[in-house]
Amino acid sequence: MIRGLVGVALALAGLVPLGAGVLFLTRTPFRVGLAVFTGMAAAMVLLPPLVYLGLSPSVPLVLALGVVAVFAGVLFGRPRWGRLHVEPLPLLVLAAPLVLLAARAAEKPVDQYDAFANWVLKAKLLYFDRGFLSASIAPPVHREYPLGLPSIEAYVLHAVGSANTRVLHVLFVVFLGGLALIAWTVLRPHVGTWPLTAGLSLLLWMPAARDQALSAYADVPLACLFVSAVLLLASEQIALGTVFAAAALATKRDAIAFLAVLYALGFAALLVRRERDRLRAWSISALCVVASAVPWRVFDATHDLHDRDIKPSLSHADQVGFVLGRLGHLIVERAYLWALPIAAIAAVVMLVRGRDRQLALGALALGVGLLAALVVVYVSGTTGVRYLVRSTAERTLITPALLAAALLPLLATRALGAPRPPDRRPQRSPRRPRRGRRRR
């Protein structure tokens, strides 16, 4: 176990140059934790096209990508160093669930069918440098899925030095920690320390997030990357948010529906407010995200890998009531700590009290849009709608649940009318106007 944990730590350290280069290019202040999570997202976008070209997601390849990214960031970006401001007690409170979960993850076997038959099996084949398209005794199921998660898992196995798939669960804990870091960075200027700590504690202690992180499925990484993209795009960090949106798309196909809702709502809001500059930036972001999926779609088309689970149609529209009922039942289950209904109530209170209505409407619209997207996906299933919902709804609901948990501190404080925390950035003293020279 010790060797595996050391290998994971070395793999994360090897992602720092790649993450730093992306932060430089996106003109984001450098922080070590943010560089690690950004490096994970960037690797999930960049490694699959190289895998399609026949390269193995090895440690030297990732380090080479990091060197290129750093040089590009220095030449074309703006290297900035974020000030280290640590709040010890909140840090300990938020680290506790992550440490406990990592301890369980280090010894958790891969015992879920889709995990060892799809995601982990692809990672092992990439680690052993064997093509998963060739005929074999047990080829991976759903070969048409994107390779973002298996690629970074194979990279971690290279750093470990063996096919120790147990320690891959630790990587999922890092995804949760990365989401908490993004949420803290984005929301801290708007939410007090302890309300934000309480809200993120709810996210990190959520039983559904804990159990699914230990399943080795792609739902938790997708949720963490997507919610990070939402927070960054909403906070005007559009370039960095685009990287995380592309990483979400490289993780699982569910991201297609989620990102379609996100960008559609973003474009609609910007058109109503007639913000041309932001609309242009969002358009470039959407084009970059779509372009990042081109290698994956070309690879699938070239190798005749077709989707067999989902086919857009209205043939199962009569099952909408069943799907809504099942999702509604899960939303109020304790496994999600009632994050969705509490966040919705806070947003409604904001609307009634007339406080930050744009934020409240945006949160409600995005939450309803994600749930509607899930309904459309389920009624388009080809393997039986009821079976598909019963077997996967608990996993797919984790994305809107984590989004609600991440936004809850902001929504709750605004609904209760709490004052905004003071800006912790030092204020610059105003410059005195220069006196003109006296004319002799």
Helix (H), strand (E), coil (C) string for 92-158: HHHHHHHHHHHHHHCCCCCCCHHHHHHHHHHHHHHHCCCCCCCCCCCCCCCCCCCCHHHHHHHHHHH
**Half-sphere exposure of residue 69: CA atoms within 13 angstroms, side-chain side:** 26
pLDDT at position 107 is: 85
Encoded amino acid at 157, one letter: L
Q: What is the pTM (predicted TM-score) of this model?
A: 0.92
For 202, half-sphere exposure in the C-beta direction (CA atoms, 13 angstrom radius) is 23
Listed in sequence order, the residues at least 6 apart from 372 whose beta carbon sits closer than 8 Å to its beta carbon are 261
Task: Answer for the pair 123, 154: CB distance below 8 angstroms, yes or no.
Answer: yes
Crossing angle of helices 339-353 and 398-416, in 10° steps, is 40
- Give the per-residue pLDDT at 434: 46
Q: What is the C-alpha separation between 286 and 225, in angstroms, rounded?
A: 16
The angle, 0 to 180 degrees and rounded to 10, between the axes of the packed helices 357-379 and 385-396 is 140
* Residue 381 DSSP SS3: strand
Per-residue model confidence as pLDDT tens for the chain (440 residues): 788 899 999 999 999 999 999 999 999 999 999 999 999 999 999 999 999 998 999 999 999 999 999 999 999 988 888 665 668 899 999 999 999 999 999 888 888 888 888 888 899 989 988 766 654 545 566 788 899 999 999 999 999 998 888 889 999 999 999 999 999 999 999 999 999 999 999 999 999 999 999 998 999 999 999 999 999 999 999 999 999 999 999 999 899 999 999 999 999 999 998 888 899 999 999 999 999 999 999 998 888 877 666 666 667 788 899 999 999 999 998 999 999 999 999 999 999 998 889 999 999 999 999 999 999 989 887 777 888 898 889 999 999 999 999 999 999 999 988 655 654 444 444 444 444 444 43
122-to-62, 65, 117, 303, 429 alpha-carbon distances in Å: 18, 22, 8, 16, 57
* Angle at CA of residue 234, ends 232 and 236, nearest 5°: 75
Give the pLDDT score at 430: 45
pLDDT of residue 246: 98
DSSP string, 343-370: HHHHHHHHHHHTSSHHHHHHHHHHHHHH
pLDDT, position 110:
86
CA distances from 386 to 112, 219, 232, 359, 382 (A): 21, 20, 36, 35, 11
